[in-house]
């Protein structure tokens, strides 16, 4: 008998789900945004707050989302409708669809940058020595070239092609092979960076917390970054949860995804900061940090051309497995709720997103506002509402029943219930209130 999930197309296996969910989580958030946000927020202190956010808030929210998705077998709007009929909760799903759209638009601009760098790697630009100034000039040149807009469009097109193919054929198959390969390349780069002369300072910057740098702004950035990195707060994990088979253990799957994602973000930091400090650079640099630092170290590796190409190739793919999940949330809303054609909506949404990507590509100020609005605040508000929903409307007991349905025990279920009902809503509200009262900058 076909279960609902089979009828909608689900994941073929648990490992397929883990890799695809990890594929959604691991992306530019880890490699591009984590290092530069950590750099701007003082390094070690940010990292400590980030790790606290991941384990104390985000992991619980991840289980909230996965359980909502699997219990309802729907994408976000439909999920809230199914679990809380005739209420306003589906609006939370609607906010998620909107947020996904907003993130996809600025994210595809950065994804376009990775395509440009892949092109340069292929033509051998990183095989020979490149100094920090030259690297910065290359990056700035890209920002002022019309190519930037074109490449954002190309990336959206690539995303649309895979989303059109549906969940299992497109997403799962690609992730199974590519994610492990990506890890291998990252470890090699980190080893190279860590053995550069002067690397120590970078490691200290990342791990020795200077708590005098702590502020509400740092906490907001860390929370927003942790949510973005785990693809939380906008329903991507609700959607993926709806594709997870009821036979598969959810607790293990969720924890694996969170650990893999956090590990890769830290690994990215261990590539960037040692290399940056070894070259005598400043940690504060903005959105260009990773793009400017990395090209300067490839030539210090044997087989430099290969590493450049493999790194940027895989970074593109990591970005693609994330944009897929963003677009999947948007498209599945129209398919599930309005019975529209997947094919048609995929193209229409890719086009609409491109229109919002253009101003992001042209104006740095617009880009930064979008990044903060959707990538930080919208996700924080979304997670608050999702916690309130599970804690106070749908109920912790129903959620735990769903999480343990496969017969796999959920470790610390009581603690989880407490976090979702009290700690997460209060902590997130407190952070937002402090920010509103002007506690930040
Ligand atoms: N988690 C992705 C990253 O770190 C971004 C993302 C956010 C993807 C929200 C899907 C949903 O790159």
The response to whether residue 108 sits with its C-beta less than 6 Å from ligand 1 reads no
Look up tokens 């470890």; give the residue: 187
Q: Is 28 in the pocket of ligand 1 (CB under 6 A)?
A: yes
Ligand 1 binding pocket includes 24 (Cβ within 6 Å): yes
Ligand 1 binding pocket includes 159 (Cβ within 6 Å): no
359-382 pLDDT per residue, tens: 999 999 999 999 999 999 999 999
- C-beta of 238 in contact with ligand 1 (< 6 A): no
- pLDDT tens digit sequence for 305-322: 988 998 899 899 889 989
Ligand 1 site-directed mutation target among 20, 25, 374, most atoms within 8 Å of CB: 25
Indicate if ligand 1 lies below 6 Å from the C-beta of 321.
no
The residue whose CA is least distant from atom 10 of ligand 1 is 231
Average pLDDT of the chain? 90
pLDDT at 132 over 70: yes
Contact 37, 221 (CB under 8 A): yes
Handedness of CA 314, 318, 323, 328 (dihedral sign): positive
Q: Is the CB of 83 under 6 A from ligand 1?
A: no
Model pLDDT, residue 3: 40
Residues 75-85: what's their mean pLDDT?
A: 95
- CA distances, 436 to each of 216, 220, 223, 228 (Å): 10, 11, 16, 21
Tokens of 139: 């990056």
Distance 322 CA to ligand 1 centre (A): 5
pLDDT band of 260, cuts 50, 70, 90 = very high
* 124-128, 134-138, 180-184: the lowest-pLDDT one: 180-184
What band does 12 get if pLDDT is binned at 50, 70 and 90? Answer: low
Task: For residue 64, name the pLDDT band (cuts at 50, 70, 90).
Answer: very high
- Cα angle 140, 146, 149 (rounded to 5 degrees) comes to 100
Does the pLDDT of residue 24 top 50, yes or no?
yes
Tell me the CA–centroid distance for residue 236 and ligand 1, in Å: 8
Structure confidence at residue 310 (pLDDT): 87
What is the per-residue pLDDT across 400-409, written as a single tens digit (0 to 9) for each?
999 999 888 8
How far does residue 26's CA lie from ligand 1's centre (Å)? 7
Residue 4: the pLDDT is 41
pLDDT in tens, 195-218: 999 999 999 999 999 999 899 999
Overall pTM surpassing 0.75 (yes/no): yes
Q: Mean pLDDT over residues 291-299, rounded?
A: 90
Which mutation among 236, 260, 263 tests ligand 1's pocket best, with the greatest number of atoms within 8 A of CB?
A: 236
Would you call 204 exposed, middle or buried from its count of C-beta atoms within 10 A (0-12, 13-18, 19+)? middle
Nearest residue (by CA) to ligand 1, atom 7, is 231
Q: Is the shortest distance between the CB of 216 and ligand 1 below 6 Å? A: no
Average pLDDT score over residue span 411-433: 95
**C-alpha atoms less than 13 angstroms from C-alpha of 207 in its C-beta half-sphere:** 11
Q: 245 CB contacts (<8 Å, ≥6 apart)?
A: 3, 5, 10, 11, 14, 17
Instruction: Give the distance (Å) from ligand 1 centre to CA of residue 414.
Output: 28
313 Rama class: left (phi>0) / alpha (psi -120 to 50) / beta: alpha
> What is the pLDDT at residue 419?
97
User: Nearest 10 degrees: CA dihedral of 108, 113, 115, 120?
Assistant: 180
Quick check: CB of 236 below 6 Å from ligand 1?
Answer: yes
Query: Cα(336)–Cα(326) distance, rounded to whole angstroms?
Result: 16
Mean pLDDT value across residues 37-61: 96
Residues 150-187: tens digit of each pLDDT? 999 999 999 998 888 765 565 666 667 777 888 888 99
CB of 62 sitting under 6 A from ligand 1: no
Q: Which of 101, 228, 371, 378 to mutate to test the pocket of ligand 1 (most atoms within 8 A of CB)?
A: 228
Q: Supply the residue whose CA is at minimum distance from atom 6 of ligand 1.
A: 231
Residue 105 has pLDDT above 50, yes or no: yes
Q: How confident is the model at residue 9 (pLDDT cuts 50, 70, 90)?
A: low
Provide the pLDDT for residue 10. 64
């Amino acid at each position: 008998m076909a279960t609902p999930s089979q009828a909608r197309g689900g994941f073929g296996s648990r490992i397929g789900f883990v890799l695809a969910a990890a594929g959604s989580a691991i992306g530019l958030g880890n490699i591009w945004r984590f290092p530069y946000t950590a750099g701007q927020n003082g390094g070690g202190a940010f990292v400590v707050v980030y790790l606290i956010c991941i384990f104390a808030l985000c992991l619980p929210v991840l289980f909230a989302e996965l359980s909502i998705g699997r219990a309802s077998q729907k994408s976000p709007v439909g999920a809230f409708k199914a679990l809380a009929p005739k209420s306003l909760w589906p609006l939370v799903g609607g906010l998620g669809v909107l947020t996904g759209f907003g993130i996809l638009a600025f994210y595809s601009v950065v994804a376009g940058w990775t395509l440009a760098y892949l092109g340069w790697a292929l033509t051998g630009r990183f095989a020979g020595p490149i100094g920090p100034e030259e690297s910065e000039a290359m990056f700035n040149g890209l920002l002022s070239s019309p190519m930037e807009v074109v490449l954002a469009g190309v990336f959206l097109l690539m995303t649309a092609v895979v989303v059109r193919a549906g969940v299992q054929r497109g997403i799962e198959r690609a992730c199974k092979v590519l994610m492990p390969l990506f890890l291998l390349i990252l470890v090699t780069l980190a080893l190279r960076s860590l053995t550069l002369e002067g690397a120590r300072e970078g490691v200290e910057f990342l791990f020795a917390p200077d708590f005098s740098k702590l502020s509400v702004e740092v906490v907001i950035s860390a929370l927003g970054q942790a949510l973005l990195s785990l693809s939380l707060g906008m329903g991507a994990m609700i959607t993926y949860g709806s594709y997870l088979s009821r036979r598969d253990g959810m607790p293990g799957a969720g924890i694996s995804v969170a650990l893999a994602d956090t590990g890769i973000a830290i690994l990215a930091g261990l590539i960037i900061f040692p290399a940056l400090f070894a070259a005598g650079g400043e940690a504060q640099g903005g959105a260009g940090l990773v793009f400017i630092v990395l090209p300067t170290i490839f030539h210090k590796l044997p087989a430099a051309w290969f590493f450049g190409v493999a790194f940027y190739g895989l970074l593109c793919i990591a970005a693609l497995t994330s944009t897929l999940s963003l677009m999947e949330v948007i498209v599945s809303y129209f398919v599930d709720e309005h019975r529209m054609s997947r094919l048609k909506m995929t193209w229409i949404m890719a086009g609409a997103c491109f229109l919002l990507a253009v101003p992001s590509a042209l104006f740095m100020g617009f880009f930064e506002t979008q990044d903060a609005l959707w990538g930080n605040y919208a996700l924080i508000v979304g997670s608050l509402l999702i916690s309130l929903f599970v804690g106070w409307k749908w109920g912790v007991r129903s959620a735990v029943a769903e999480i343990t349905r496969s017969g796999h025990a959920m470790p610390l279920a009581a603690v989880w219930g407490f976090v979702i009902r009290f700690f997460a809503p209060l902590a997130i509200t407190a952070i937002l209130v402090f920010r509103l009262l002007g506690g930040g900058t």
